Amino acid sequence: MLLDTLTCRIIEWLDPIDNNNALIVRELIMSDILNDVLSANRDYVDDFGDKGELPMPPGRNFAILTCMDARLDPAKYAGLAEGDAHVIRNAGGRASDDAIRSLVISYKLLGTREWFVIHHTDCGMEYFNNEIMSDLLSSSLKTASVDADGWHDCCEGPGSTEGKYINWLTIKEQTESVLEDVARIKASSMVPSDIPVYGYIYDCKSGRLIEVPAATEAGQAS
């Protein structure tokens, strides 16, 4: 973060040993995002009401596995309030080993009985593959850019070769990825057969959840 000249002068002028001054310095160098988040949290706390009394197990006994995409708000698109359901999010909403770890904890210790896998239209995971990602990381750790010719690194290195050892779980086609993930969850020996897993695609243009019938069929309870 670059500090403006006035802010730098104020920080130099303040005695950093003094606790009050240390707090002022911290306020001065906080990013706008950090300030905004903490301000929003203060408002949230003001209206927190009796939510501190909520029990840990989700009250509506279900879990959603979905993508981290910023356009998706599961609390809104699925009508959730605090305490209702588990929401497990990662890039793509993929049934990674870690997502399955969370789902197993979700039912085994916290009692969920129905699960959703929800991918979405225009997912960022459709725009690259393992090779592209590992190549980009190899050349630079700065944010890459994309245009009609594909992804480009705009900056110098150093990069990292670690990306070559990761399966990034990218997506070629959403109905296939939803089916694949529902099937993987159902195939886990740690998942009881009586938990249904529903497969859906969230449409980013309308907010609608669209069923992937083959996935829901594969995810039937038995």
Least distance in angstroms from the C-beta of 179 to Zn ion: 17
Does 181 bind Zn ion (CB under 5 A)? Our answer is no
- Both structure tokens of 169: 């779980």
d(C-alpha 209, C-alpha 201), whole Å: 6
Cβ within 8 Å of residue 32, ≥6 positions away: none
The answer to whether residue 182 forms part of the interface with Zn ion (CB under 5 A) is no
Tokens of 141: 């750790």
* Closest CB to Zn ion among residues 61, 126: 126
Rounded least distance, CB 11 to Zn ion, Å: 40
Q: Give the shortest CB-126-to-Zn ion separation in angstroms.
A: 8
Contacts of residue 82, defined as CB under 8 A and 6 or more positions apart, other chains included, come to: 51, 54
Q: How many residues contact Zn ion, by CB under 5 A?
A: 3
Calpha distance 132→145 (Å, rounded):
12
Binding to Zn ion by residue 178, rule CB under 5 A?
Answer: no
Binding to Zn ion in span 90-129, by CB under 5 A: 123
Q: How far apart are alpha carbons 26 and 39 in whole angstroms?
A: 15
Among 58, 63, 64, 69, binds Zn ion (CB under 5 A): 69
Decide: is 153 part of the binding site for Zn ion (CB under 5 A).
no
**Looking at beta carbons only, is 71 or 142 nearer to Zn ion?**
71
Burial of 183 (0-12, 13-18, 19+ CB in 10 A): middle
Q: Quick check: 169 binds Zn ion (CB under 5 A)?
A: no
Q: Which is nearer to Zn ion, 67 or 169 (CB)?
A: 67
**Cβ atoms 185, 175 nearer than 8 A:** no
User: H-helix or E-strand containing 144?
Assistant: none
Q: Least distance (Å) from Zn ion to the CB of residue 184?
A: 18
Q: Which two tokens stand for residue 214?
A: 């083959």
Residue spans of beta strands (DSSP E) within 143-196: 145-147, 150-152
Our finding on whether 171 is near Zn ion (CB under 5 A) is: no
Q: Which of 63, 64, 65, 67 binds Zn ion (CB under 5 A)?
A: 67
Stretch that binds Zn ion, among 23-31, 63-71, 99-107, 153-161 (CB under 5 A): 63-71
**Residues contributing to the site for Zn ion (CB under 5 A):** 67, 69, 123
